């Protein structure tokens, strides 16, 4: 934003010097061209199982340099991408095999909508009927109706014609909630689940609405140390929409990630805190919901304290985390110093959570400097974790159970968000610096040697490479 203000100042000086030229600082700017990948920062896959492939790849473009007046949310048809890899790449599948998005001869791009610039995180609801988006330049939660059985532009809808969304699909202002709450600035991460997962079913009074409530909850972490809670509520037509229910402040500064643990009914947050002393422990912050079963939208968030991360160096610098259902009682956390993936033992029950103040490192696996994002998947019966290292331009694939490195991909431009396609045995990587998505074949991890690194490789590049020179 400082850079944009500087450019506006230069533009004003030019206008004053060239009085014969008409200048308009209120010009809203240009819409991003349809089908443009532009500094992608967020990825998600549509519904998938080990026997049923995902149909769409959802991608958020951040418009990082503010060249356009908005970012974009796109849905890519994975079957169409498969066809293009076979048709365009053939036997010569490699990073140089480019699949253009705006080629009129094929349609890999199914749906696209505009979103605020600087998108930081997207999350699909458990039933994949909604997609939630947060951006650092917008004090709202944006949401989209999703129809994964549809084709073409109806996959993502948001109450308006064209690519711009209706204001009713933005939630967070004081007028859109009953308690006149204000959504905190600089949202950085979002997670979602079912409202029924917020409480122990055995504690719900018979007949209470929450016991059968079909709606979602959404939690958003903010850079300034806040968490916002949304609960879905039906409108007069029976349509569910997120309602800002509470905003909790006073948490550690510079939150970086959020994940919900249905086992202990706690949300865990990773913390960066560059301004903290090096003697400050690495920590995970925790929040929980005091749910009102008779009136869920009157529920409150509360601070459940922090967990000190034992067995690893000081410095409050964790960047992202996962709480996989497949690893109960464990959290996967990315550390920046050392640059490593941590397997942490965390409380497994609500009672343990209320008394424990430590998360012990059971395994620490080094990765390259600049560890940024992680995801989990299962390839051929083998559980794997993918970790992107933005600064070192590398991607690591690790065995979930042992931490063994299975493959390392080098010479990427700016790997950031990652998503694993279990069925196709592929990994999709948002390459921020190049404004493309890399498609990685993970089959060698299953088909290669039992021990030792394998040769997972890039087989295609989605989009046209646009290297940002100032980021090289």
Tell me the domain boundaries of the chain. 116-366
Residue 455 has pLDDT above 90, yes or no: no
Residue 57 clears pLDDT 60, i.e. is over it: yes
Structure tokens at 392: 């070192």
pLDDT at 221 (0 to 100)? 98
Provide the pairing of β-strand 382-389 with 371-379: antiparallel
For residue 381, pLDDT beyond 70: yes
Distance CA 192, CA 439 (A): 27
272 and 254 in contact (C-beta within 8 Å)?
A: yes
pTM of this structure:
0.89
Rounded mean pLDDT, 84-98: 82
Q: What pLDDT, on a 0 to 100 scale, did the predictor assign at position 89?
A: 82
Confidence class for position 354, pLDDT limits 50, 70, 90: low
pLDDT band at 17; cut points 50, 70, 90 = very low
What band does 448 get if pLDDT is binned at 50, 70 and 90?
low
Query: Exposed, middle or buried: residue 259 (CB in 10 Å: 0-12, 13-18, 19+)?
Result: buried
**So what CATH class is 116-366?**
mainly beta
Q: Is the pLDDT of residue 27 over 80?
A: no
The answer, yes or no, to whether residue 460 has pLDDT greater than 90, is yes
Choose the most confident range, by mean pLDDT, from 180-184, 297-301, 332-336, 357-361.
332-336
Residues shown for the chain: 472
The answer to whether 457 and 444 are in contact (CB under 8 A) is yes
Higher pLDDT, 9 or 78: 78
How far apart (Å, rounded) are the C-alpha atoms in residues 321 and 334?
A: 6
Q: Tell me what pLDDT residue 14 has.
A: 42
Confidence band, pLDDT 50/70/90 cuts, at residue 21: very low
What does residue 366 show for φ and ψ, rounded to 5 degrees?
-65, 145
pLDDT in tens, 283-335: 999 999 998 877 887 899 999 999 999 988 888 899 999 999 889 999 999 99
CB 252 within 8 A of CB 271: yes
| Burial category of 24 from C-beta neighbours within 10 Å (exposed 0-12, middle 13-18, buried 19 and up) | exposed
Residue 215 contacts residue 233 (beta carbons within 8 Å):
yes
| Distance separating alpha carbons of residues 310 and 337, to the nearest angstrom | 14
C-alpha–C-alpha distance, residues 439 and 99, integer Å: 10
pLDDT band at 123 (very low <50, low <70, confident <90, very high): very high
Q: What angle do CA 447, 339, 390 make, to 5 degrees?
A: 70
Residue 25 has pLDDT above 70, yes or no: no
pLDDT for residue 202 is more than 70: no
Structure token pair of residue 415: 């790997």
Query: What is the rounded CA–CA span in Å between residue 181 and residue 229?
Result: 11
**Which stretch of 39-43, 141-145, 194-198, 220-224 has the lowest confidence by average pLDDT?**
194-198
The Cα–Cα gap between 62 and 462 comes to 17
CA distances from 212 to 197, 200, 204 (A): 11, 13, 10
Res 442 pLDDT > 80: yes
What percent of the chain stands above pLDDT 90?
62
């Amino acid at each position: 934003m400082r850079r944009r203000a500087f450019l506006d100042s230069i533009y004003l000086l030019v206008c004053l010097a060239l009085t014969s030229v008409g200048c308009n600082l209120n010009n809203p700017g240009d819409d991003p061209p349809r089908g443009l990948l532009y500094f992608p920062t967020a990825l998600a896959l549509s519904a998938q199982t080990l026997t049923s492939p995902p149909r769409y790849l959802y991608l958020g473009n951040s418009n990082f340099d503010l060249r356009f007046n908005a970012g974009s949310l796109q849905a890519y048809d994975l079957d169409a991408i498969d066809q293009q890899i076979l048709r365009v790449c053939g036997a010569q599948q490699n990073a140089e095999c480019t699949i253009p998005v705006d080629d009129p001869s094929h349609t890999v791009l199914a749906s696209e909508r505009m979103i605020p610039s600087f998108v930081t995180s997207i999350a699909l609801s458990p039933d994949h009927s909604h997609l939630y988006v947060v951006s650092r330049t917008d004090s709202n939660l944006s949401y989209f109706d999703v129809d994964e059985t549809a084709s073409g532009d109806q996959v993502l809808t948001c109450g308006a014609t064209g690519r711009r969304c209706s204001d009713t699909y933005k939630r967070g202002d004081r007028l859109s909630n009953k308690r006149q709450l204000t959504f905190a600035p600089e949202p950085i991460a979002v997670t979602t689940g079912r409202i029924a997962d917020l409480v122990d079913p055995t504690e719900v009074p018979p007949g209470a609405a929450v016991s059968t409530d079909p709606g979602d909850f959404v939690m958003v972490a903010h850079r300034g140390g806040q968490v916002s809670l949304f609960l879905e509520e039906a409108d007069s037509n029976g349509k569910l929409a997120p309602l800002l229910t509470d905003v909790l402040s006073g948490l550690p500064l510079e939150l970086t990630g959020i994940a919900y643990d249905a086992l202990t009914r706690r949300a865990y947050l990773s913390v960066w805190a560059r301004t903290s002393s090096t003697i400050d422990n690495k920590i995970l912050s925790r929040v929980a919901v005091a749910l009102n079963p008779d009136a869920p939208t009157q529920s409150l968030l509360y601070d459940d304290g922090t967990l000190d991360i034992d067995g690893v160096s000081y410095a409050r610098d964790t960047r992202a985390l996962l709480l996989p259902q497949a690893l109960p009682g464990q959290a996967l956390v990315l550390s920046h110093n050392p640059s490593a993936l941590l397997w942490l033992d965390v409380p497994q029950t609500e009672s343990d959570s209320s008394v424990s103040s430590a998360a012990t490192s059971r395994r620490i696996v080094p990765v390259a400097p600049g560890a940024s994002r992680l995801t989990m998947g299962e390839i051929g019966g083998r559980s794997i974790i993918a970790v992107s290292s933005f600064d070192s331009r590398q991607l690591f694939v690790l065995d979930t159970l042992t931490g063994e490195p299975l493959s390392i991909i080098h010479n990427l431009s700016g790997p950031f968000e990652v998503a694993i396609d279990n069925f196709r045995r592929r990994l999709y990587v948002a390459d921020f610096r190049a404004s493309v998505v890399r498609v990685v074949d993970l089959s060698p991890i299953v088909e290669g040697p039992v021990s030792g690194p394998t040769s997972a490789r890039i087989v295609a590049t989605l989009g046209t490479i646009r290297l940002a020179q100032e980021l090289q």
